[in-house]
Structures are given as structure tokens and as C-alpha cells.
Structure 1
Amino acid sequence: MMLIRYISQIGKYFLMLQEIFRKQTKWSVMKKLIFKEIDDLIIDSLGIVAFISFFVGGVVSIQTALNLTNPLIPKYLIGFATRQSVILEFAPTFISVIMAGKMGSFITSSIGTMRVTEQIDALEVMGVNSVNYLVFPKIIALLLYPFLIGIAMFLGILGGWMAGVYGGFTNSTDFITGAQMEFIPFHVVYAFIKTLIFALLLATIPSFHGYYMKGGALEVGKASTVAFVWTAVSIILFNYILTQLLLSA
């Protein structure tokens, strides 16, 4: 029964994705919705992303330094390990899981509240494609999500540099040498490809759970929790698939 239920949910999710592009809302209205979503989802997330990225980058640098106990191991590996960890995994994946909680809960609760208060039904009565009206602006807004992840990459490496240098674990020259050593530009491309896929998941899975929820105010909270779990699981699953496809070839 559980398997049938999950397959049914997945089918309904893809039907919702089709519905998003079926009947477009007027551009004059959509433009305002898109700018509002950019403010709510991207701009409002800058602070938490900057804070977490800076200090986790510092933690990665310190932990790497503490594990390099052999004096024969060069100190520039601290910068190398910090760069690789931040660009390949921390910034695109770890931040996205955190955003599944922040953005996902916001999206699910806002759409779920509209469902509870029958605002979605009112949109349908007026002839508006409610799925397009509610979900499409979020997808467009989250096309700017790579910008957020780019900031996370920069601040993560900066935090690693400051923790390594001012913590006395390495010097600035060695850290920068390590950060530049054997740099592969495709790793940044790989990170941004993952980011765009994660952005689509962040926009659509919480929207799905908010749009199709049933009940009252209590169920809005439950839907937000379920949306976070499924968004995080999907991000981790797609992270594995994309890593296999893009890096192991």
C-alpha cells in the first residue's frame, strides 16, 4: 500500500509540473510575483548562507590541519582540502539541505495557508491557473540560486583561510598555494549544474506538498515537515546520481 501511495504521489507531482506551463499568468502580474519571490527566497537567505558558509569553511580548514600530524605532509594541503570540500560538496549540497528547511518550510506554509483559507479555490474560480500563479515565480526566482551558492563558495574558502592563518595552522602563502593547486574548472561547472537541479527541487517539492495538503492549520505544519524531509532526501539522491554521471565518467 505504501509503495502504491508513493507512486501515486510521484505521478501527481509530475502532473503538477505539466500544469505549471499550461496556462500562463499575464506578464504584468507575473513580474511582480517573481520579484517578490526573489526577495523572499534569495535575498532573505543571504545572511544565513553567509554565516554558515564562513564558519563551516573555517571548521573544515581546522579539522584538516589537525589531521595533518605528519611533519612531512605539506601545509598547503589545508588550502587544497578546504577548496575541494567547499566547492564540490559543502556549498552546493550542504547549503541546499539547509535551504530545504528554510525555503521549503516557507514555500509549503505559504501555499498551504492559501489552501486552508480557500484562496487557491478563489483563484481557480477567477479562471487563473493557480499552479502557474503560485509555483512558476518560485522556479524563476530560484534560477538565481547559483548566485547564492557562489557566495557560499567564496565565503567558505575565505573562512578556511582566516581560520587556518589566524589560528596558526598554516600561513597565507601556503594556504593560497594549496587553494590554487591542480584546480579543475569543471568542478565549478559540476557544482553549478547540481545547484540548478537542487533549485528546481527546492521550488517544486515544497510547492507540491503545500498545494495538495488537506486539513487546517495543524496540517500546514505537518506538510512543512514532510516537504523538508522529501526535499532533503531528493537532494541527497540527486547529488549521488549527478556525481556518478558527471565526475566518475
Structure 2
Amino acid sequence: MSKLGKYLLFLGKLFTNPEKFRVNWKLIMQESKDIGIDSMLIVTIVASFLGAVTCVQTAANMENPFVPRYIISLIVRDSTILELGPTITCVVLAGKVGSNIAGQLGTMRITEQIDALEVMGINSSSYLVLPKMIAAMLTFPMLVTMACFLGIYGGYLAGWLTGSVTPQDYIHGLQFDFKPNYVLFALIKSLVFGFLVVSISAFQGFYTKGGAYEVGKAGTAAVTNACIAILVADYLLAQLLVG
């Protein structure tokens, strides 16, 4: 069987014979804490500086005096909501969350903990992976929303502190020709990216064979494949939703 077929079969097993809601709920809350709350610091740092850099570089390249300064914040707003917020945030999360999931499941596989679950009649893939996937699809949109806000606010601070754009012009640019559906596009992207990060990372870890070295390789493969999948999905979603 090809790797793609094995991956699709793995996805199908996630939704067959799931655990009781009470059991899954506790696992989902724990995974939401591990995936969402524990990732807030890195998302805050990355998003704030991305917005600041976008503002400063946009201002530095706008030398034409006939172009109004509020265009700077308009560019920061649209680039943050459409691309930097969802895509870069999820690429960062693929490195943090994806490697953790692959390492955790890979370790459970080589220490035969997954085999023990299957011997007890538990659908191991559903029990171990489904709560992570649900938690990611709950927390990724929240993290992306926070990243978009912090990116725009980081641009505001950078523009104000460097004198690139006045606060009044920046706020005017944020309000100018705003398209609310861009926010919906960002949330849709975050849901798709969250699904890809968890499913690909879990697949890599779940089928690990060997020892500690192979677990490390599974973590690397999980991050690499998840990042590639995010970029491909980003292009397809951009064509579908915006193009």
C-alpha cells in the first residue's frame, strides 16, 4: 500500500469506534491546554514582530509623496489577516506541536504502549489522535485570531515609535475598505492547517519503527511534511477563497 493510501486509512480509523464522550472530553481539554495555551508565548512573539517588520519595511519602500501614509496600515492589515497570521503562525505551530505529537506517539509505539491499547480492544488511533485533532481545530483558530490582532498592533507600535506613520493614519488605514470575509478566510485556513498538522504528525509518529533514532527522524519528517502540506494548502485555499 502506498504511503498516501496508508495515511487515508489512518484518517478513516480515527472516526471508527471512538471512546465515550466523557473520556474524550477530558482528553480534549488536556490537549487544548498542551496545544493552545502552551503555544501562546511563541505565537505572541512571532506575530508581534512580523507585524512590526511588515510596517517598517512597507514604510521604507513608500517614498512617493503622493501615496497616502494610511496605505501602510492597509497593507499590514491585509497581509496579516490573509497570509502572515494564519500561515506563518501555523508553520511555527507545526514545528512546536507537530514534533511533540510525533515524538510522543513514536515513543509510545516503540515502547509497545500502543500495542497494549490494541490488545485491550481500544481503537488506539482514535483514542490517542482524535482528541488532539479536535483540540487543534478548536485552538488553532483562537491562536490565529490572536496572531492577527498582535500583528496589526505590533505594526501600530512600530509605526508610531519609528515615526513611519501617525496613529491617526494607521487607524484610518485599518478601517479603509475593510473586507470582513478576509477574517473568515483566515479562520478557514486555520482549521485546515490544524487538521493537517495533527494528522500528518500523528501519522508519522504512529507508524514509527525502531528506536530513539527513528523517533527523532519521525519528528523531523512530521515537521517537514506538515510545513509542505500547509504551503500547498495555502496556495489552493488562496485560489479557492480569494482568487
TM-score by length of 1: 0.95
Confirm whether residue 179 of structure 1 aligns to residue 174 of structure 2.
Answer: yes
- Other-structure match for 2:12: 18
Give distance in 2, aligned partners of 1:112 and 1:68: 50
Confirm whether residue 113 of structure 1 aligns to residue 130 of structure 2.
Answer: no
Output the aligned Cα RMSD.
0.9
Give distance in 2, aligned partners of 1:112 and 1:235: 22
- Other-structure match for 2:3: 9
Give distance in 2, aligned partners of 1:79 and 1:15: 46
- Other-structure match for 1:132: 126
Q: Paired residue for 2:27, among 33, 46, 49?
A: 33
| Deviant stretches of 4+, over 6 Å | none
Report the AA paired with residue 19 of structure 1.
K
Q: For 1:80-95, what aligned pairs fall within 5 Å after superposition?
A: 80-95=74-89
CA displacement at 1:10 relative to structure 2: 0.7
Aligned pairs, how many? 242
Give distance in 1, aligned partners of 2:168 and 2:65: 18
- Other-structure match for 2:183: 188
Report the AA paired with residue 245 of structure 1.
L
Q: For 1:157-168, what aligned pairs fall within 5 Å after superposition?
A: 157-168=152-163
Q: Paired residue for 1:97, among 80, 87, 91?
A: 91
Report the AA paired with residue 132 of structure 1.
S
Confirm whether residue 49 of structure 1 aligns to residue 73 of structure 2.
Answer: no
Give distance in 1, aligned partners of 2:54 and 2:21: 45
CA displacement at 1:28 relative to structure 2: 2.8
TM-score by length of 2: 0.98
CA displacement at 1:22 relative to structure 2: 0.8
Q: Paired residue for 1:71, among 48, 65, 68?
A: 65
Give distance in 1, aligned partners of 2:141 and 2:23: 25
CA displacement at 1:26 relative to structure 2: 2.4
- Other-structure match for 1:61: 55
Q: Deviation per CA, 1:113-144, whole angstroms, max 9, x where unpaired? A: 10011000000011100000111001110122
> Identity rate of aligned residues, in percent?
48
Q: Paired residue for 2:240, among 231, 240, 245?
A: 245
In structure 2, list runs of 5 or more residues that go unmatched: none
- Other-structure match for 2:212: 217
Report the AA paired with residue 51 of structure 2.
G
Report the AA paired with residue 152 of structure 1.
A
Instruction: Find the residue that maps to 2:160 and give its secondary structure.
Output: helix
CA displacement at 1:70 relative to structure 2: 1.4
Q: Deviation per CA, 1:87-111, whole angstroms, max 9, x where unpaired? A: 0100110111111111100000000
Q: Deviation per CA, 1:2-22, whole angstroms, max 9, x where unpaired? A: xxxxx8111001101110111
Instruction: Find the residue that maps to 2:55 and give its secondary structure.
Output: helix
Give distance in 2, aligned partners of 1:94 and 1:226: 19
Instruction: Find the residue that maps to 1:235 and give its secondary structure.
Output: helix
Report the AA paired with residue 232 of structure 1.
C
In structure 1, list runs of 5 or more residues that go unmatched: 1-6
Give distance in 2, aligned partners of 1:17 and 1:148: 24
